Structure formats: structure tokens, C-alpha cells
């Protein structure tokens, strides 16, 4: 629930415990005065109690997961408080926000529950992209249903019901309202640009992606929300929702990882450290460290795999899921029989350090 607390009630809040996270953001409303998205210039994980109490007092917050709209007068008053004055960057932010023509929100998350509001979802997505929380450490159950499908334009997020009128208004002024995408998730870089990364095509990395320092995402690379890389990494393929890529790994052009959203699956797919997923190949089970999947080979959890010894003799047959998390493996397809084979991999890949230093 959203509310604006009158100034004369601004000291009635009393915090009942520590917070999981906190954000101060700028929201966008549609023509029906409903919030449709939130940008958070301030995102805090486990915020200091003194700051939390100050904001709780001003907003009238006491407990739970909730968000409140702050007036310009409240923001000005906050910036003047002694406990805020000691933090010049926060004080400057509050002063800037007091001039906002858009709604300014403070969002409190006391407990990591399934998000129930748009501000709560956006705060959690910011936490991931700011690297304050790793994928699978936040409860995002039902987040997709909470978010609105929006037009993402050169004038920001627009409700689809408002889009025709906005397009007409732009044309009447001799302008073009460009619609870059229609989706529930915006691109990450319109909200967060993490330190030390290269992203060739920013539309292919969604808000809520965790992009580790030293990661390069090439033009065909894609990173979904609640997924990402430890970094450094070379990403020329697809990282689906829920998938985490270990440091030093390389996803070749056109390759794919099977996310937990595919077919309603629940198993967490991951790629270990120093792995190579070859061009146009794919993965459907957790891969251990220093493993290789050859180009063009898609290995799902149920793929029958022949196990080879050092002399390339078959010593057994297993389903790929039985090799989950095991290290130093090479998966290949026999070019004569077409069978999928696995043998010990004695060569680990090494990423070019110069390509993954993005200062």
C-alpha cells in the first residue's frame, strides 16, 4: 500500500526491528495515477539502524514490507536533520529529490517475502544489479505477475493504455516517440551500470541481472533477471533466468543455458569456474568447474552419455544429471555414431586478462 504522510504526522513511526533492505526512489505513474515502475538512486542492504529509524519516523513506518510517498517538504526536512547532514551525498540526493516532479518513494523490506508491490520488486531487482545480493538469495516468487507489461521508450516507461495518446501527442509536436521494447523488465543499464563491465548491446541485459566485475557481454550475449556471472567472464550466449556462471568461464556465440523458467523446472542450472560452453551448444544441468561442452552439442539432464576412459574405451552409460557438479569433464558428440561422450578434461580454458579489465 502506498500513502503520503502529512508533515504533522511525520514523527509517528517507530521501527520494530532491523531491515533486510531499503531504497529511496523516483516512481512513474500512469494516467490512472498508478505506479508502474521505480528507479532507485539509493539502494541499501542491511541499512544502518540510525538512518532506518530516521526514515521510518518521517514516513510513519513501523514494520513489514511497505512503501511510502514523501512530499517535497518532508524531503527538505530530512536533508536538514543532523543525522542526515553527516552524509553529504545523501543530503545532496534528498535535496535533489525535493525538486522532483515525479513521486518520490521510500521502500522498506523487513523480511524477504514474495514481493507484493511494484516498488518492492524493483528494489529487489536493483539489489541484484548493484551486486548487493546474488541470484537465488532473494525471494522473487510471483514477481513476474506483480510487474506491468510496459512500453519502454525514449521518454521512459509508458503504460500500454496510455501509449496511443502519447504517440499522437509526440507526432503533433513533430517528434517521434520511439518504443524500444514492450516487456515487463527494462534493460539494466537504464537503472544500474555496475563497475568494470562491457556490454555491447545493452537491451540484452535485463534489470535484475548480476553482472560480475570483469564480465564482457558481446552483441549476441543475453543475461536475464536473477541470473548472471561471478566475473570475469566472456558471454556470447544466453544466460537464462536463474542461471549463474562461475568466474573465468566462456559462453560461446549462440549457446544457451536452460533456465528454471523453461517448462516450469525447479532445478538450478549453473556453470562452474573456468568452463567453456561452445558456440551453438547448450546446457540443461549444473556443470562443475573446468568443464567443456563442444560446439553444437546440447546436453540436457536426461541426455544419455557414454563414459570414456583415458584410452577412449566405454566404461559405462549415465544420464547427464548424474554428472552434475563434477569437475574436469569434456562433453562431445561422436562424429561417426552420433552418441554423446564424456571423458576427463585435462585442459582448462584461460580468459584473456586484458579483455576483462574494464576500468
- Structural domain span for residue 173: 152-183
**2 within a domain of the structure (yes/no):** no
Find out whether 43 and 120 touch, Cβ atoms under 8 Å: no
Scanning the structure block, which residue is given the C-alpha cell 545523501? 90
Considering the domain architecture, whether residues 37 and 156 belong to the same structural domain is answered as no
d(CA 323, CA 88): 53
Considering the domain architecture, whether residues 108 and 53 belong to the same structural domain is answered as yes
What tens digit of pLDDT does each residue of 59-85 get? 999 999 999 999 999 999 999 998 898
Our count of domains for the chain comes to 3
Domain termination site, one of 91, 119, 144: 144
CATH number of the domain within which 167 lies = 3.30.60.70
Considering the domain architecture, whether residues 199 and 346 belong to the same structural domain is answered as yes
CATH number of the domain within which 311 lies = 2.160.10.10
Considering the domain architecture, whether residues 30 and 126 belong to the same structural domain is answered as yes
264 Cβ partners below 8 Å, 6+ apart?
none
d(CA 59, CA 61): 5
Beta bridge partners of 69: 4, 105
**326 within a domain of the structure (yes/no):** yes
Q: Model-level pTM?
A: 0.90
Find out whether 209 and 197 touch, Cβ atoms under 8 Å: no
**1 within a domain of the structure (yes/no):** no
- pLDDT for 234 beyond 90: yes
3-state secondary structure of 343: strand
Kindly report the average pLDDT of the chain as a whole number. 91
**One of 37, 120, 213, 236 is an active-site residue; which one?**
236
Average pLDDT (13-37) is 89
**329 within a domain of the structure (yes/no):** yes
Find out whether 216 and 197 touch, Cβ atoms under 8 Å: yes
**55 within a domain of the structure (yes/no):** yes
* 83 flagged as catalytic: no
Considering the domain architecture, whether residues 210 and 352 belong to the same structural domain is answered as yes
- pLDDT for 54 beyond 90: yes
Considering the domain architecture, whether residues 317 and 286 belong to the same structural domain is answered as yes
Q: Hey, what's the cell of 46?
A: 542491511
Considering the domain architecture, whether residues 246 and 315 belong to the same structural domain is answered as yes
Amino acid at each position: 500500500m502506498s500513502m503520503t504522510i502529512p508533515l504533522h504526522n511525520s514523527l509517528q513511526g517507530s521501527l520494530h526491528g532491523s531491515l533486510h533492505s531499503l531504497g529511496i526512489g523516483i516512481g512513474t505513474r500512469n494516467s490512472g495515477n498508478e505506479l508502474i515502475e521505480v528507479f532507485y538512486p539509493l539502494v541499501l542492504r542491511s541499512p544502518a539502524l540510525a538512518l532506518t529509524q530516521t526514515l521510518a519516523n518521517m514516513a510513519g513506518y513501523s514494520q513489514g514490507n511497505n512503501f511510502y510517498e514523501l512530499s517535497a517538504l518532508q524531503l527538505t526536512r530530512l536533508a536538514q536533520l543532523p543525522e542526515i547532514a553527516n552524509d553529504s551525498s545523501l543530503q545532496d540526493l534528498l535535496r535533489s529529490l525535493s525538486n522532483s516532479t515525479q513521486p518520490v518513494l521510500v521502500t522498506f523490506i523487513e523480511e524477504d517475502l514474495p514481493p507484493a508491490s511494484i516498488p518492492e520488486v524493483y528494489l529487489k531487482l536493483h539489489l541484484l544489479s548493484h551486486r548487493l545480493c546474488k541470484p537465488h538469495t532473494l525471494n522473487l516468487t510471483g514477481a513476474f505477475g506483480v510487474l506491468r507489461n510496459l512500453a519502454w521508450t525514449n521518454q521512459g516507461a509508458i503504460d500500454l493504455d496510455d501509449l496511443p495518446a502519447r504517440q499522437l501527442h509526440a507526432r503533433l509536436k513533430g517528434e517521434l516517440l520511439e518504443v524500444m521494447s514492450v516487456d515487463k523488465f527494462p534493460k539494466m543499464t537504464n537503472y544500474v551500470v555496475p563497475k568494470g563491465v562491457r556490454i555491447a548491446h545493452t537491451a540484452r541485459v535485463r534489470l535484475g541481472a548480476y553482472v560480475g566485475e570483469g564480465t564482457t557481454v558481446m552483441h549476441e550475449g543475453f543475461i536475464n533477471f536473477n541470473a548472471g556471472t561471478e566475473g570475469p567472464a566472456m558471454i556470447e550466449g544466453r544466460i537464462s533466468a536463474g542461471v549463474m556462471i562461475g568466474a573465468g568461464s566462456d559462453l560461446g556465440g549462440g549457446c544457451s543455458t536452460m533456465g528454471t523458467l523453461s517448462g516450469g523446472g525447479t532445478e538450478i542450472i549453473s556453470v562452474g569456474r573456468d568452463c567453456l560452453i561452445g558456440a551453438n551448444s547448450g546446457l540443461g544441468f549444473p556443470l562443475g568447474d573446468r568443464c567443456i561442452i563442444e560446439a553444437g552439442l546440447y546436453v540436457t539432464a536426461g541426455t544419455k552419455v557414454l563414459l570414456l576412459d583415458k584410452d577412449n574405451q566405454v566404461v559405462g552409460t549415465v544420464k547427464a544429471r548424474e554428472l552434475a557438479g563434477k569437475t574436469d569433464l569434456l562433453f562431445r558428440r561422436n562424429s561417426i555414431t552420433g552418441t554423446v561422450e564424456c571423458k576427463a578434461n585435462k585442459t582448462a580454458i584461460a580468459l584473456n586478462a586484458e579483455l576483462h579489465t574494464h576500468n
